Chain A
Amino acid sequence: MWRLFSAFFLGWSLGANDASNVFGTAVSSRMVRFWTAALLCAGFAVLGAVLQGEEGLATYAELSSYGVSVAFVVAMTSALTVTLMTLFKLPVSTSQAVVGAMIAAGLFADGVQWGSLGKVVACWVGTPLGALVAAMVLYRLLGALLNRLDLDLFAYDAFLRRGLILAGCWGAYALGANNVANVTGPFVASGLISPIMGVWLGGLAIAAGVLTYSYPVMMTVGKGIVSLNAFSALVVVTAEAVTVHVYAAVGVPVSTSQAVVGAVLGIGLLRDARTINTRTLGNVALGWLFTPAIAFAFTWAWLWIERAV
């Protein structure tokens, strides 16, 4: 059971990082106190994990099956990969790291289910694309609604603030539902813990990360999103929540960071395509390629050394 520490560590780092994607805007712009956001985010992440997290666990079970010690390696190398990518200031996808590590572990044991892998990789492309389309549609619809309502300054402000809180709660729910499989999926697949225990442990680990260490990341990442106006930020968080929730229902763990990037890109295309920073976009794409590749390499190396020793 001590090996579950690695899962908790991964969940903790995931919660600490990804909370910024749902509440970074509200906290960094001082619309909501950190503790209000953190408690809401942690609560809804646990709720999402417990109520809708089992679909993703089932996908991980399909993807590969191996022993507890390999599951420990997968969690540890995924956490290492995420940390390394964070050092390079690239958007981190825990899902990609975990899947890359699991494929390496599966290949090492000759047990990868390539059919399920195809479904996961297709969804990686679909996440930013889906969020991009969702953001464009939401931007038009919500924009038309607000123009028609012609709200006064305070009502307009309240609409956006409440919208950001609601979208944040929804995003946190989707984060828990979708990403809990990244945290405990390998251990559930290995049979060490039951799916119910997996969703509770994973959900609580994410919540712990949100509550204890999400503040600095919220302040950093959130300020990046605030460069959009509040209306666009609401559209981004809602589009992200919709997209990640859809994937949670399908049972494919995806990255909230990728969804955010897709949604921001969608708004950029609607407003003025020239404002899109292609260099940053290129770096993000590189990060998406390198994350699973590095996790794969770490896991392969770890297992190879372990076998040699």
Chain B
Amino acid sequence: MSFTFPWRGSPNVKGRILAYLEQADLCLARFRDAFTRYLAEGPGDAFDGLRAESHRAESAADDLRREIEQTLYERELLPESRGDLLSLLESVDHIPGAAQGVLNILFLERPALPGFLVSHLSQLVELNLEAYTAINEAVRALMEDPARTRALRNRVDELESRSDRLQQLAIRELYTSELELARKLQMKDVIRTIGAISDRCEHTADLLNIIAIKRRI
């Protein structure tokens, strides 16, 4: 028979979510480094090393997410808060996953990036990483300053729209180029996979919106 003090808060969960976000940050930071290196130098050991670091950070984030899920299932928070946090974590977790998807294409397929796309790809990565930064801050704000969450959510929507427009522009230029169809398809895959980062961010922003609405009476 165990007796738990009923007033205890949830420092474990909050602390672990913050630790998870730090790992996700690290994963995305290494993603940026790896992608930039690939743009500058193409495939090589430096890119592979940065990709491996990004992958390690993603694995560490995954481990933390599993720990958080276990803590939540064991006995923390109200069922609805528990459910919301689990959905939120699952949604956030797709973002580093999407970044890994981009690095995996570069690592496995080693595509040669055409010069006319370099600027678009670089901008696209920056826009998508900005969307991720806004989501990361929005999730932190949900646990500390809900009013700020709403503003960040709008920022994510805006960045996702800009990312969509840039993707369309890049794909249009790609298909008006003289590249072989196979390379065009390969490049389109790279562009779409980068864009998936902000798509995932938008999905998480929608979820944050629902979580906020549910708490208004």
A residues with a Cβ closer than 8 A to B are 29-33, 35-36, 39-40, 139, 142-144, 146-147, 150-154, 156-158, 160-162, 165, 226, 229-231
Provide the bound-state CA to CA distance between A152 and B211, in Å. 11
Q: When the two chains form their complex, are residues A150 and B146 in contact, meaning their CB atoms are under 8 A apart?
A: yes
Q: Would you list which residues of chain B between 130 and 146 have a CB under 8 Å from chain A?
A: 141-146
Other-chain residue from A30, A143, A150, A156 in contact with B75 (beta carbon distance below 8 A) = A30
Partner pick for A153 among B75, B84, B216, CB 8 A cutoff = B84
- Whether B81 lies near A157 (C-beta < 8 A) is yes
Among B9, B143, B147, B217, max chain A CB count under 10 A is at B217
Q: A29-B79, A165-B6, A230-B80 are in contact. List 14 more A-B contacts (CB 8 A).
A: A35-B1, A36-B3, A139-B217, A143-B217, A152-B146, A153-B85, A153-B146, A154-B77, A157-B78, A157-B81, A158-B10, A162-B7, A165-B7, A230-B78
The CA-CA distance from A31 to B10 in the complex, in Å, is: 12
Interface residues on B, range: 20 to 34
Q: Name, among B79, B147, B211, B215, the residue most crowded by chain A CB atoms within 10 Å (CB to CB).
A: B215
Query: Which among B4, B81, B147 has the highest number of chain A CB atoms within 10 Å?
Result: B81
With most chain A CB atoms within 10 A of its CB, the pick from B80, B84, B147 is B80
Chain A contact residues: helix, strand, loop or mixed: helix
Instruction: Tell me whether B176 is interfacial, beta carbon within 8 Å.
Output: no
B14 within 8 A of A: yes
Docked-complex contact A157 and B3, CB < 8 angstroms:
no
Q: Is B119 an interface residue, CB under 8 A from the partner?
A: no
Complex contacts, B77 vs chain A, CB 8 Å: 31, 154, 157, 161
Q: How many A-B residue pairs have CB under 8 A?
A: 78
Q: Which of B6, B75, B141 contacts A40 (CB 8 A)?
A: B6
Q: Which listed residue (A31, A151, A152) contacts B78, Cβ 8 A?
A: A31
Do A36 and B4 touch (CB < 8 A)?
Answer: yes
Q: In the A-B complex, list the 7 residue pairs whose CB atoms are closest, starting with the nearest.
A: A143-B217, A157-B81, A230-B78, A29-B79, A165-B6, A35-B1, A157-B77
Residue of B nearest to A168 (CB): B6
What is the CA–CA distance of A230 and B217 in the complex, to the nearest angstrom? 12
Give Cα A249 to B80, complex, Å. Answer: 36
Contact A150 B147 (CB under 8 A): yes
Q: Report the minimum CB–CB distance from A165 to chain B (whole Å).
A: 5
Tell me the bound Cα distance from A254 to B19 in angstroms.
51
Task: Return 10 A-B CB contacts under 8 Å, by A number.
Answer: A30-B75, A36-B4, A143-B217, A144-B217, A152-B144, A157-B10, A158-B9, A158-B10, A160-B78, A226-B79
Given A29-B79, A147-B216, A230-B80, do A154 and B10 touch, yes or no (CB 8 Å)?
yes
The answer for the CA separation of A165 and B85 in the assembled complex, in Å, is 22
Is A153 in contact with B143, judged by CB distance below 8 angstroms? yes
* Distance in angstroms between the alpha carbons of A153 and B2 in the assembled complex: 27
How far, in Å, is B159 (CB) from chain A's closest CB?
23
Taking CB atoms, residues of chain B closer than 8 Å to A32 are 4, 6
Q: Indicate if the CB atoms of B80 and A35 lie closer than 8 Å.
A: no
Check if A35 sits within 8 Å of B75, measured CB to CB: no
- CB neighbours of A157 from chain B (8 A): 10, 77-78, 81
Q: B81 touching A147 by the CB < 8 A rule?
A: no
Residues A153 and B79 in contact, CB atoms below 8 Å apart: no
Residues of B within 8 A of A162 (CB): 6-7
CB distance from A146 to the nearest CB of B (A): 6
Closest-by-CB residue of B relative to A26 is B6
Cα–Cα distance between A146 and B217 once the two chains are bound (Å)? 8
